Amino acid sequence: MGKVAVAFAAAAVVAACSVAAVMVRRRVRSRRKWRTVVEILKELEEGCNTPVGRLRQVVDAMAVEMHAGLASEGGSKLKMLLTFVHDLPKGTEKGTYYALHLGGSYFRILRVHLGGERSYLDVQDVERHPIPSHLMNSTSEILFNFLAFSMERFIEKEGNGSNSQGVKRELAFTFSFPVKHSSITSGVLIKWTKGFEISEMVGKDIAECLQGALNRRGLDMHVAALVNDTVGALSLGYYHDPDTVVAVVFGTGSNACYLERTDAIIKSQGLLTTSGSMVVNMEWGNFWSSHLPRTSYDIDLDAESSNPNDMGFEKMISGMYLGEIVRRVILRMSQESDIFGPSSSLLSEPYVLRTNSVSAMHEDETLELQEVARILKDLGVSEVPLKVRKLVVKVCDVVTRRAGRLAAAGIAGILKKIGRDGSGGITSGRSRSEIQMQKRTVVAVEGGLYMNYTMFREYMEEALVEILGEEVSRYVVVKAMEDGSSIGSALLVASLQS
Ligand code: ADP
Ligand code: MG
Q: Over the stretch 109-158, which tens digit does the pLDDT of each residue have?
A: 999 999 998 888 899 999 999 999 999 999 999 999 999 999 999 999 98
Whether the per-residue pLDDT at 430 is higher than 50: the answer is: no
- What is the dihedral sign for C-alpha 191, 193, 222, 239? negative
d(CA 78, CA 284): 6
d(CA 280, CA 263): 13
Hey, which residues are catalytic here? 108, 176, 229
174 ligand 1 Cβ < 6 A: no
The residue whose C-alpha atom lies closest to atom 7 belonging to ligand 1 is 448
Phi/psi for 311 (5° steps) reads 55, 45
Residue 423 is predicted with a pLDDT of 85
What is the residue type of 375?
A: I
d(CA 135, CA 138): 5
Which tens digit of pLDDT belongs to each residue from 319-376?
A: 999 999 999 999 999 999 989 988 888 999 999 999 999 999 999 999 999 999 999 9
Spatial strand order in the sheet of 476-480: 81-82, 277-281, 254-261, 244-250, 441-446, 476-480
The residue whose C-alpha atom lies closest to atom 25 belonging to ligand 1 is 356
Looking at the DSSP assignment, which residues form a beta bridge with residue 172? Answer: 99, 225
- Residues 214 and 151 sit within 8 Å (Cβ to Cβ): yes
* N- to C-terminal Cα separation, the chain: 110
Which tens digit of pLDDT belongs to each residue from 11-32?
A: 555 555 565 555 566 666 667 7
Pick the atom of ligand 1 nearest to 229's CA.
Answer: 4
- Residues 464 and 427 sit within 8 Å (Cβ to Cβ): no
d(CA 357, CA 348): 16
Residue 402 is predicted with a pLDDT of 99
DSSP β-ladder status, 244-250 and 221-228: unpaired
d(CA 10, CA 22): 18
Whether the per-residue pLDDT at 207 is higher than 60: the answer is: yes
Please tell me whether the overall predicted TM-score, pTM, comes out greater than 0.95 for this model.
Answer: no
d(CA 332, CA 300): 12
Share of the chain above pLDDT 70, in %: 90
* Mean per-residue pLDDT of the chain: 92
Cβ density class 212-243: b for 16+ within 10 Å, e for less: bbbeeeebebebbbbbbbbbbbbbbbbbbeee
- Residues 444 and 411 sit within 8 Å (Cβ to Cβ): no
96 ligand 1 Cβ < 6 A: no
What is the distance in A from the centroid of ligand 2 to the CA of 219? 25
Residue 425 is predicted with a pLDDT of 57
- Residues 66 and 310 sit within 8 Å (Cβ to Cβ): no
251 ligand 1 Cβ < 6 A: yes
Which tens digit of pLDDT belongs to each residue from 439-489?
A: 999 999 999 999 999 999 999 999 999 999 999 999 999 999 999 999 999
Residue 23 is predicted with a pLDDT of 58
Residue 329 is predicted with a pLDDT of 98
Worst-scoring range by mean pLDDT, 5-9, 36-40, 60-64, 486-490? 5-9
Residue 433 is predicted with a pLDDT of 46
Query: Strand (E) positions, 149-287?
Result: 169-175, 179-183, 186-189, 221-228, 244-250, 254-261, 277-281
